[in-house]
Structure 1
Amino acid sequence: MTHTTPVRTRPLLLALAVCAASTTQAAKLEEVIVTAEKRATSVQDTSIAVTALTGDELDRGLINKPLDLQFNVPNMLMSKGNFTTAQISIRGIGNLAVGSASDSGAGSHFNGVYLNNGRIFEIEFYDAERVEVLRGPQGTLYGRNTTAGVLNFITNKPNEEFGGDATLELGNYEHQKFKGAINIPITENISQRFAGFYLQRDGFVDNEFTGNDIDDRDMYSIRSATRWQSERVDATFTINYFEEDSSRMRGSNQQCKRDPEGILGCLPTSLANENSHAAATATAFLINTFVEPVVGQAFPVDDFINSPKSDNPREQFLDFEPRYQVEDTMASLEINWDIDNMTLTSLTGYHDSRLNARNDYDFTVASEPWPIDVTLDLGPDGSITTNRLYNTDQSSTSPTQWSQELRLLSDFQGPLNFLVGGFYLTYESEVHYRIRSTSIEAVGEILGIDPEFRIYDNDADKYELETFALFGEAYYQVTDDILVTLGARYTEEEKKSRQRTIYLAFLSDGTDENQGYANFDGKWDEPTGKFNITWDVSDDVMTYLTLSRSYKSGGFNPISADSPVIDPAQGGDPGLAEFDPEYINAIEVGVKSQLLDNSLQANLTYFYYDYEGLQISKIVNQTAINENFDAMIQGIEAEFIWLPIEPLRLSANIAWLDTEMDGGETIDPANINLLGTTQNIITTPFNNQLVGDMCPGGLSPCEGLPTSIDGNELPNAPAYSVNLGIAYTIPVGGMDLTAATNYYWQDEFYTRVFNTGNDTVDSWDVWNATVTLTNPEQGWLAEAWVRNITDDDYITGQYLGDQNVGLATNQFLLEPRTYGLTLSLMF
């Protein structure tokens, strides 16, 4: 690992700054206005741990997309997750549950509109006013699924002045990006703003099998905002369209320590750049059980025994190249109406998205030929005829939602004010996760199964969500320096799901086409609330204490109607059809200060969570089941910005996080005695032939051994993280030349609650730098930039695959070193 360069450079630059401080006057920090409390307040007067980054700060810090936010937000971890999702963890809280009815703990918002299933990790920031990240439970004003916190992406609104900007960005990997905006006043009351971006670049990964580069980007987005303003009414309608057609990879790399015996595909003791033993995957069971006896010829024991595998994670051997296609539309209508000493706000939101993603499932090319040819239907990608094992998967989802929020905010002269409101959301989606394989196809041909069912399909045919909430906060100014806030929210939710899983492993006689649909209907209602007291110690120092309770609703386990898990006749429990909600009782103490004549901003936060009912998935009889556990979380966050002299800006974020499971035991999918496994989604639960021989029938340890998780750390919760930044500006011929660098370091963490060696992601760091020349009078700037200066291939996240890939671990990597030039024109 490379830490030495940035660590040695920072003290030298700091020393130079201190020497210069004696001759240069300190600058003053600018005020940042946020809407974290659903009203406009200064970030330093807001009694919430909130990181607010303006559009200029996003550009200056090379924060191009949401995945970059973790480098600037304390105790935030963001990585790609399993099967096209984003894994967002704030203070150790994310989403460890499985199924279409499970929810993230971090609420994502676009211009204040809650997105139940937004395409967060794909988007690029453009024409942004600011991004706000609220850390900690926000169950009163924001409600459902905000036990971790809130992300709010806020775009620029139209205004009464003509103007705009255009930016061209060129870099290595044939990187080309254009973004721009134009603001047009139409009448005295109506103004219009258009914005958009286009990005195209080559892939970061070389497919050595085809000779192509993959994991490229080809995407664009356009936005229109129309604003009407009168003396009392301010209304803005915004519509945003995003489209991508790329070879974006679900994972960057797959690691495995091959089991030479073939009982497990990968050993659970360590990770290596090896392929799994195919005898321990679904292929062995299907071919050995159904195909070999009919064909009468031997098939390979291990299809991957001579398959190539590179030590370079940027080089892969894939016989199916990824495709990633998204169409996403978001719209919002915000109306603010001033009524004497009150403001009535209506916020209407709409979101519609279509995703199709296809990937090479086994991350390799089978080396051993079969004695027969098989024609595999690849759906929209046509078909292929081959005599080798060939596995590919497809994820598709099509969510649609409408939401409506009404708020009434008072602004009385007396000591008492309030905010009250109501929220309604309706959401529906169809989700499929399909695996297509020559092994499944061969069995289908032998057994005469309808070609429609010669796939594995985790089929959430219809998922519906309807939720309603009433909320409010009362603000009482006890004295000029003390403000007390009481908040409450009541939430009702109903979730309906029609789902099934089609897989050949459950064919009793080789003739059933599929399992029946299961229909679930669950209702939850819960009151939540908070108490806050804020004390202005002085004009420059504010401290606060917050006690709050938040919750995230339960859901349905991804099972079919005749699953043995819920069938009493087969020893099942009907109660396992659902899992319970999560609850967080939180204490937060914070201090916000602006010192040294407003040149130093120093914020400090301590928090403690009593976490009830943490939702975690496990495997029971080849089915993913979510169960609930208790945990404890505490931590400290320190944020500093200092302008010691006019041209110098220093910043630092330091975070500590302590998490601990409170009792309980559950089945470890990586346990050597398991038959089939999964982590974040139920996948092909086929039985490997060799392990099946170890467990001939009845209840046995092969169905999973309970493992104690008492005292273990929560997944995705690094104990320490540090961000350091420095920028220095000097005048050059009427222009400003700024050199800036930013360094981020993150401690090691576990990706599963079992805390094994294979679950560990090592500590990693990244170092970025820019040099910017700005001409304020002529309205242009030129910037040279480099990201990941040391070009490290650090792992930023991972998840455990299922038995179909032999318990291989899929990993996500830090993007490689990129560099380029940006030219911007403002008018």
Structure 2
Amino acid sequence: MRSYRSVAIAAVSTIALMAGAPAAVADTANELEELVVTAQKREQNLQDVPIAVSAFSEAALDRVQIEDATDIQLSIPNAVLTGNDRFTLRGVGNNALAGVDPGVPTFVNGAAIGYPPQNEFFDIARIEVLRGPQGTLYGRNTTGGAINIITRKPGTEFGGEVSVQAGNYDNIRLGAAVDLPLGSVAALRLAGYSLDRDGYTRNVATGHDVDGRDQWGARGSLVFNLGEKTDATLMLSRFEEDSSRAREGKRLCKAHPVLGCDPRVLGFDSPDANTTILQTLARAFTPFPAGGNIYAGAPNPTDLRAIAADTDPTYEAAQTAASFEFNHDFGPITLSAVLGYSKFSTEQNTDWDNADLPFRFTRPITYFKDRDTQVTTDRLLTTDSFTGRGTTKTGELRLASQFEGRFNFLVGYFGAQGTNSGGFETWHPAIELFQRALGRPQEAWRVSTLTRNGKSETWALFGESYFEVTPDLRLTVGARYTEEERSGESRSIVLSPVGPWVYAKFEGQKTTYKVALDWTPDLAFTEKTLVYGSVSTGYKGGGQNANASAPTFGPETVTAYEVGTKNVLMDGALQANVTAFYYDYTGLQLGQRINGGVVTRNADATIYGLEGEFAYSLGEHWLFDANISHLHTSIGTFLSEDAANPAQSLTATTPTVRVNLKGNELPHSPGFKVKAGAQYQTAIGAGDWTATFRVDATWQDSYFAREYNTPTDRIDSWGVVDLQVRFDNDPKGLSARVFVKNLTNDDNITNIIIEDALIGRYRNARLLEPRTYGVIVQKRF
């Protein structure tokens, strides 16, 4: 708790310094960097974009040590990363458990990536995070916002760079890139990286470190210069990982004789299995010894970064992605076309009960511990497996005007096709022997929730018109019409016969709109001011549940109201941006565990909040930046059973009782978040070297991991402090950096997931990275 207070004090002190310093240093302040973004499908200065955007240039990514999605959440207002690269912006993201499109999709070079992998950022020119519904220009599924990743393009001359990073946990990260001019009409850039590090978590049962990384990525970008008015870019990338990345986290439980784990409090017990279905089946169908609880005596270290599991997790993932962009300037109108393709596959295995059981059968038995491994043993071994594979193909055609008059427009067509399959399967000897005793086929010897032959098709027409009402007042009116169709087969087997695959189909169409005003007044106390307001709608399509009782779920729609202002002051030394928003959601998609499976349901909700982003350059040496955000969320009338306490009684598990969640907070919605950074740069002697010292601090308020808002859903507030010292010699192309992340080495929990009643309803806690430190050396040529 002391470290949380220190982070908050550091953040507030930095903001206070920023607020009090400007008038005294106006004569010596340097102008801040002007960043050009493409958040509205055309190049604009970030301060001229009338929407809430957090953007990071290549230099800014390096400056605040953003290497992956976990890092970027620390620098964005109202952003939470809940694990598996699931972004939540302003309380909206993918709050379903599996098989549902994200509410904050990722675009790489303008092409949607259906299944963004959990790889490191490398060779990135810019990242833009758009907050709020982007239904007009970006289309369906952007109810929470959008993430644009723009990779570096080839230079016109031969050159490149190599980098080496070494740190604790035997972390070795290698990177390289090279520009290869191909005559006067083309240039090629090749870039890649590899990452190899030990795990952050100790499995005391196997003696191994887990949650490590072994991954690599490569990208080739080919730019064609077809004249002054025409250009084309082809990009191809590949990513692979084969590591011990942990899909499960730290097991938390306070044993309870009826529910397995107490829904009111967390602890380091193992579940009480006496009333679980699996122990009942084990007693009846396996050589079960006299006595009680299967989990009795199972160790669970009190260290959040230590587990005791029979087996180590395995994680395999691969992705191939390609995109092609073409632009031609006809003069008054520019034609743009973007094609995208991605193919993704993953298989993730972990110990289902997340325990090292001292329990032994009275004699060895033969059973499958996973899909491919049959064992004969007196031990009780379990496996939880997730597999997924899919493809995404997209195409977009746009026409944008550059008329000299008061009216301009952007219109376009978008189309996409996708396929997907996969799901969850769990193996347990009691399940297998029970199903075998009933004469059921091998498909039933496990619990499974699977989909196959999933297909999706969508197309849309969209456009925005821009009219200058006066020289400093512009009206934007936009609309998008979308049609989509999703279909597939699903099947859920939970201690049941093998039923048929259930075919389900969802069809939808929606028109979303946007009306906005932006005003650029000439104020005496600012160099540039933008004031904007908008009303817009967003849409995320429905889909398929792998559950026969609820085969489909409905679409999600939002009406968003937003006002904001962006300001440049003090001869460009200070930027101050503030945004306020209000959302009215209908059918917000929430995922829940029901009867051994996962189901997505729809609920209404309201959201409102406030965000501020600030940057200040003090003289030649100092740079300060900060953001602060507030968020309030409230669920409407919504009846749902709670898997942690289905009967709402500590003495029974039946009958199932639905509780009204009206007024509860949405998951992953902290009330406040503060981030502040301070940087000092100075020359070293009379040579070409400079030294840069930087500190970044982030504090995030408490929030709930589930919409039920129970005490065990609550995630405490946490804070992170990062430090770095950097040395640069630009003429020689040399740089070296020493860094520390999570200076105070806090075990910050970011998400808590409840496990199935079959194995005792324990919780899995996911954590931010521990303290890491190291050195990075780069040479440019």
- With normalisation by structure 1, the TM-score equals 0.90
Deviations 1:101-143 (A, max 9, x none): x221112111111122222xx1111110010000000000000
Mapped to 1, the partners of 2:534 and 2:14 lie a distance apart of 40
SS at match of 1:559: coil
Classify 1:439/1:714 alpha carbon distance in 2 versus 1 (closer, same or farther; 3 Å).
Answer: same
Classify 1:309/1:471 alpha carbon distance in 2 versus 1 (closer, same or farther; 3 Å).
Answer: same
Match of 2:64 in 1: 61
Deviations 1:653-695 (A, max 9, x none): 00000111122322222225279xxxxxxxxxxxxxx99xx68
Residue in structure 2 matching 1:531, options 512, 515, 533:
515
Classify 1:820/1:705 alpha carbon distance in 2 versus 1 (closer, same or farther; 3 Å).
Answer: same
1:92 aligns with 2:110: no
Residue in structure 1 matching 2:242, options 238, 241, 245:
245
Deviation, 1:285, is 3.0
Deviation, 1:355, is 0.3
Q: Is the 8 A contact 1:717 1:749 kept in 2?
A: yes
Match of 2:230 in 1: 233
Mapped to 1, the partners of 2:616 and 2:771 lie a distance apart of 29
1:237-386 paired onto structure 2 within 5 Å: 237-259=234-256, 261=257, 263-289=258-284, 291=285, 298=289, 300-379=291-370, 382-386=373-377
Percent identity among equivalent residues? Answer: 35
Match of 1:577 in 2: 551
Mapped to 1, the partners of 2:636 and 2:675 lie a distance apart of 31
Deviation, 1:18, is 5.7
1:438-587 paired onto structure 2 within 5 Å: 438-503=429-494, 505-506=495-496, 512=497, 514-538=498-522, 539-560=527-548, 565=549, 576-587=550-561
Residue in structure 1 matching 2:111, options 89, 106, 113:
113
Mapped to 1, the partners of 2:14 and 2:510 lie a distance apart of 55
Deviations 1:344-402 (A, max 9, x none): 11100000011011011111111121123223334566333321322111111110111
Name which of structure 1's ranges 273-282 and 194-203 shifts more when overlaid on structure 2: 273-282
Mapped to 2, the partners of 1:618 and 1:218 lie a distance apart of 32
Q: Runs of 5+ in structure 2 lacking a partner?
A: none
Classify 1:621/1:812 alpha carbon distance in 2 versus 1 (closer, same or farther; 3 Å).
Answer: closer
Q: Is the 8 A contact 1:264 1:672 kept in 2?
A: no
Q: Runs of 5+ in structure 1 lacking a partner?
A: 507-511, 566-575, 676-689, 696-701
Name which of structure 1's ranges 475-484 and 18-27 shifts more when overlaid on structure 2: 18-27
Residue in structure 1 matching 2:209, options 209, 213, 219:
213
Deviation, 1:448, is 4.4
Deviation, 1:298, is 4.1
1:170 aligns with 2:173: no
Deviation, 1:482, is 0.9
Mapped to 2, the partners of 1:794 and 1:610 lie a distance apart of 31
Match of 2:588 in 1: 614
Mapped to 1, the partners of 2:324 and 2:563 lie a distance apart of 36
Match of 1:750 in 2: 704
Match of 1:729 in 2: 681
Mapped to 1, the partners of 2:23 and 2:540 lie a distance apart of 52
Classify 1:22/1:556 alpha carbon distance in 2 versus 1 (closer, same or farther; 3 Å).
Answer: closer
1:61-80 paired onto structure 2 within 5 Å: 61-80=64-83
Deviation, 1:582, is 1.2
1:593 aligns with 2:567: yes
Residue in structure 2 matching 1:129, options 125, 131, 150:
125
Mapped to 1, the partners of 2:446 and 2:425 lie a distance apart of 7
Match of 1:780 in 2: 734
Name which of structure 1's ranges 56-65 and 741-750 shifts more when overlaid on structure 2: 56-65
Mapped to 2, the partners of 1:181 and 1:662 lie a distance apart of 51
Mapped to 2, the partners of 1:132 and 1:312 lie a distance apart of 37
In the alignment, residue 235 of structure 2 is paired with which amino acid? T
Q: Is the 8 A contact 2:596 2:757 kept in 1?
A: no
Mapped to 2, the partners of 1:155 and 1:758 lie a distance apart of 41
1:42 aligns with 2:45: yes
1:26 aligns with 2:29: yes
Q: Is the 8 A contact 1:299 1:370 kept in 2?
A: no
- With normalisation by structure 2, the TM-score equals 0.95
Mapped to 2, the partners of 1:806 and 1:183 lie a distance apart of 56
Q: Is the 8 A contact 2:263 2:644 kept in 1?
A: yes
1:414 aligns with 2:405: yes
SS at match of 1:248: coil
1:133-172 paired onto structure 2 within 5 Å: 133-172=129-168
Classify 1:58/1:254 alpha carbon distance in 2 versus 1 (closer, same or farther; 3 Å).
Answer: same
1:661 aligns with 2:649: no
Deviation, 1:98, is 4.8
Q: Is the 8 A contact 2:96 2:592 kept in 1?
A: no
Classify 1:543/1:13 alpha carbon distance in 2 versus 1 (closer, same or farther; 3 Å).
Answer: closer
Name which of structure 1's ranges 666-675 and 646-655 shifts more when overlaid on structure 2: 666-675
Deviation, 1:622, is 5.6
Match of 1:679 in 2: none
Q: Is the 8 A contact 1:610 1:631 kept in 2?
A: yes
Q: Is the 8 A contact 2:26 2:571 kept in 1?
A: no
In the alignment, residue 68 of structure 1 is paired with which amino acid? D
Q: Is the 8 A contact 1:21 1:644 kept in 2?
A: no
SS at match of 2:261: coil
1:709 aligns with 2:661: yes
In the alignment, residue 516 of structure 2 is paired with which amino acid? N
Deviations 1:728-751 (A, max 9, x none): 011103211110000000000011
Deviations 1:413-452 (A, max 9, x none): 1111110001110000111311011222333444444334
Q: Is the 8 A contact 2:425 2:448 kept in 1?
A: yes
Q: Is the 8 A contact 2:14 2:624 kept in 1?
A: no
